[in-house]
Amino acid sequence: MSAKVVNAIIFIVTLAAVIITLFLRPAERINLQVFWQTSDLDMTEKATVFRSVTLDDTEQTLEVNLQGRGVLRLRIDLAHSGEEFTEIRISNARIEGMQEGKPASVEIPPIWYCFNCSLVIEGNTLRIRSDLEDPYILSERIPYMNVDTLRFEVSGVR
Protein backbone atom coordinates (compact mmCIF):
# COMPACT_ATOMS: atom_id res chain seq x y z
CA MET A 1 0.00 0.00 0.00
CA SER A 2 1.62 3.20 -1.11
CA ALA A 3 1.31 6.69 0.37
CA LYS A 4 -0.97 7.58 -2.53
CA VAL A 5 -3.35 4.78 -1.65
CA VAL A 6 -3.41 5.79 1.99
CA ASN A 7 -4.08 9.40 1.07
CA ALA A 8 -6.88 8.19 -1.17
CA ILE A 9 -8.37 6.28 1.77
CA ILE A 10 -8.29 9.43 3.89
CA PHE A 11 -9.91 11.42 1.10
CA ILE A 12 -12.67 8.84 0.63
CA VAL A 13 -13.34 8.60 4.39
CA THR A 14 -13.59 12.38 4.65
CA LEU A 15 -15.81 12.70 1.60
CA ALA A 16 -18.11 9.96 2.91
CA ALA A 17 -18.34 11.71 6.29
CA VAL A 18 -19.24 15.01 4.64
CA ILE A 19 -21.93 13.34 2.54
CA ILE A 20 -23.32 11.57 5.61
CA THR A 21 -23.37 14.82 7.55
CA LEU A 22 -25.17 16.66 4.81
CA PHE A 23 -27.67 14.07 3.70
CA LEU A 24 -28.28 11.49 6.44
CA ARG A 25 -30.67 12.84 9.05
CA PRO A 26 -30.76 11.31 12.52
CA ALA A 27 -33.92 9.45 13.47
CA GLU A 28 -36.23 11.65 15.43
CA ARG A 29 -38.49 10.02 17.94
CA ILE A 30 -41.77 11.69 18.64
CA ASN A 31 -43.64 10.56 21.69
CA LEU A 32 -47.37 10.86 21.87
CA GLN A 33 -48.66 9.98 25.30
CA VAL A 34 -52.23 8.89 24.99
CA PHE A 35 -54.76 8.14 27.66
CA TRP A 36 -57.93 6.63 26.35
CA GLN A 37 -61.04 5.55 28.15
CA THR A 38 -63.92 3.67 26.64
CA SER A 39 -66.39 5.32 28.95
CA ASP A 40 -66.21 8.87 27.73
CA LEU A 41 -64.01 8.64 24.65
CA ASP A 42 -61.92 11.53 25.86
CA MET A 43 -58.32 11.82 25.11
CA THR A 44 -57.36 13.48 28.33
CA GLU A 45 -53.62 13.51 28.11
CA LYS A 46 -51.31 14.29 25.32
CA ALA A 47 -47.78 15.44 25.16
CA THR A 48 -45.30 15.97 22.45
CA VAL A 49 -41.57 16.04 22.47
CA PHE A 50 -38.81 17.04 20.11
CA ARG A 51 -41.20 18.80 17.82
CA SER A 52 -44.25 20.77 18.55
CA VAL A 53 -47.02 18.54 17.30
CA THR A 54 -50.52 19.78 17.88
CA LEU A 55 -53.05 17.04 18.24
CA ASP A 56 -56.69 17.92 18.31
CA ASP A 57 -58.68 15.26 19.99
CA THR A 58 -61.84 15.85 18.09
CA GLU A 59 -62.15 12.29 16.98
CA GLN A 60 -60.65 9.09 18.10
CA THR A 61 -61.61 5.50 17.86
CA LEU A 62 -59.89 2.48 19.17
CA GLU A 63 -60.36 -1.20 18.70
CA VAL A 64 -59.04 -3.70 21.14
CA ASN A 65 -59.50 -7.26 20.14
CA LEU A 66 -57.83 -9.70 22.45
CA GLN A 67 -58.55 -12.89 20.64
CA GLY A 68 -57.13 -16.22 21.54
CA ARG A 69 -53.45 -15.75 21.04
CA GLY A 70 -53.61 -12.09 21.76
CA VAL A 71 -54.24 -9.88 18.82
CA LEU A 72 -54.21 -6.24 19.65
CA ARG A 73 -55.47 -3.78 17.10
CA LEU A 74 -55.28 -0.11 17.75
CA ARG A 75 -56.71 2.60 15.63
CA ILE A 76 -56.22 6.10 16.83
CA ASP A 77 -57.57 9.00 14.90
CA LEU A 78 -55.76 12.18 15.69
CA ALA A 79 -56.82 15.24 13.82
CA HIS A 80 -54.24 17.50 12.25
CA SER A 81 -51.35 15.31 13.21
CA GLY A 82 -49.51 16.16 10.04
CA GLU A 83 -46.78 13.71 10.88
CA GLU A 84 -45.52 10.77 8.93
CA PHE A 85 -43.83 7.95 10.73
CA THR A 86 -41.86 5.06 9.36
CA GLU A 87 -41.75 3.05 12.53
CA ILE A 88 -43.77 3.17 15.66
CA ARG A 89 -43.28 1.92 19.12
CA ILE A 90 -45.93 1.32 21.71
CA SER A 91 -44.78 1.39 25.29
CA ASN A 92 -46.03 1.74 28.85
CA ALA A 93 -49.25 0.12 27.73
CA ARG A 94 -51.63 -1.10 30.34
CA ILE A 95 -55.06 -2.57 29.95
CA GLU A 96 -57.52 -2.26 32.79
CA GLY A 97 -60.87 -3.97 32.86
CA MET A 98 -62.94 -6.77 34.26
CA GLN A 99 -61.97 -10.39 34.17
CA GLU A 100 -64.33 -13.04 35.51
CA GLY A 101 -66.29 -10.36 37.27
CA LYS A 102 -63.28 -8.88 39.04
CA PRO A 103 -61.22 -5.80 38.26
CA ALA A 104 -58.02 -6.75 36.51
CA SER A 105 -55.17 -5.02 34.80
CA VAL A 106 -52.37 -6.19 32.56
CA GLU A 107 -49.21 -4.46 31.52
CA ILE A 108 -48.52 -5.01 27.84
CA PRO A 109 -44.87 -5.71 27.13
CA PRO A 110 -43.17 -3.02 25.09
CA ILE A 111 -43.74 -3.45 21.40
CA TRP A 112 -40.40 -2.51 20.03
CA TYR A 113 -40.00 -0.63 16.86
CA CYS A 114 -43.01 -2.17 15.38
CA PHE A 115 -41.83 -2.62 11.79
CA ASN A 116 -44.69 -4.94 11.08
CA CYS A 117 -47.20 -2.42 12.24
CA SER A 118 -48.98 -0.61 9.52
CA LEU A 119 -49.31 3.08 9.92
CA VAL A 120 -51.46 5.12 7.63
CA ILE A 121 -52.13 8.79 7.63
CA GLU A 122 -55.24 9.64 5.67
CA GLY A 123 -56.17 13.26 5.86
CA ASN A 124 -56.34 14.03 9.51
CA THR A 125 -56.40 10.45 10.61
CA LEU A 126 -53.42 8.61 11.98
CA ARG A 127 -53.99 4.89 11.97
CA ILE A 128 -51.73 2.50 13.75
CA ARG A 129 -52.37 -1.15 13.19
CA SER A 130 -50.38 -3.58 15.22
CA ASP A 131 -50.99 -7.21 14.45
CA LEU A 132 -49.14 -8.91 17.19
CA GLU A 133 -49.24 -12.48 16.14
CA ASP A 134 -46.21 -13.39 18.12
CA PRO A 135 -47.58 -15.92 20.57
CA TYR A 136 -44.60 -15.53 22.83
CA ILE A 137 -45.22 -11.92 23.61
CA LEU A 138 -48.89 -11.71 24.26
CA SER A 139 -50.66 -15.03 24.39
CA GLU A 140 -49.79 -15.79 27.96
CA ARG A 141 -49.72 -12.25 29.16
CA ILE A 142 -53.10 -10.90 28.19
CA PRO A 143 -56.01 -13.01 29.24
CA TYR A 144 -59.44 -12.32 27.92
CA MET A 145 -61.04 -9.42 29.68
CA ASN A 146 -63.63 -6.77 29.13
CA VAL A 147 -61.53 -3.75 28.57
CA ASP A 148 -62.39 -0.47 30.24
CA THR A 149 -59.20 1.44 29.84
CA LEU A 150 -56.14 1.26 27.73
CA ARG A 151 -53.23 3.55 28.33
CA PHE A 152 -50.18 3.64 26.17
CA GLU A 153 -47.48 5.78 24.69
CA VAL A 154 -46.68 5.79 21.03
CA SER A 155 -43.27 6.74 19.72
CA GLY A 156 -42.97 7.42 16.05
CA VAL A 157 -39.58 7.41 14.43
CA ARG A 158 -39.49 9.64 11.42
| Site residues, another protein (CB under 8 A) | 1-3, 6-7, 9-11, 13-14, 16-18, 20-21, 24-29, 31, 33, 45, 47, 49-50, 109-110, 112-113, 115, 136-137, 140-141
Instruction: Please answer whether residues 91 and 152 qualify as being in contact, where contact means their C-beta atoms are separated by less than 8 angstroms.
Output: yes
The b/e string for 111-139 (b: 16+ C-beta within 10 A; e otherwise) is beebeebebeeeeebbbbbbebeeeebbe
Beta bridge pairs of residue 100: none
Instruction: Please answer whether residues 138 and 73 qualify as being in contact, where contact means their C-beta atoms are separated by less than 8 angstroms.
Output: no
Nearest approach in angstroms of CB 76 to another protein is: 18
With respect to another protein, which residue has the nearer C-beta, 109 or 125?
109
Nearest approach in angstroms of CB 20 to another protein is: 5
**Residue 156 has what DSSP assignment?**
E
Closest by CA to 139, choosing from 68, 72, 74, 90, is: 68
Nearest approach in angstroms of CB 24 to another protein is: 4
With respect to another protein, which residue has the nearer C-beta, 62 or 151?
151
Kindly report the backbone phi and psi dihedral angles of residue 25, in degrees, each rounded to the nearest multiple of 5, phi listed first: -95, 140
With respect to another protein, which residue has the nearer C-beta, 125 or 149?
149
With respect to another protein, which residue has the nearer C-beta, 87 or 125?
87
Nearest approach in angstroms of CB 122 to another protein is: 27
Nearest approach in angstroms of CB 56 to another protein is: 17
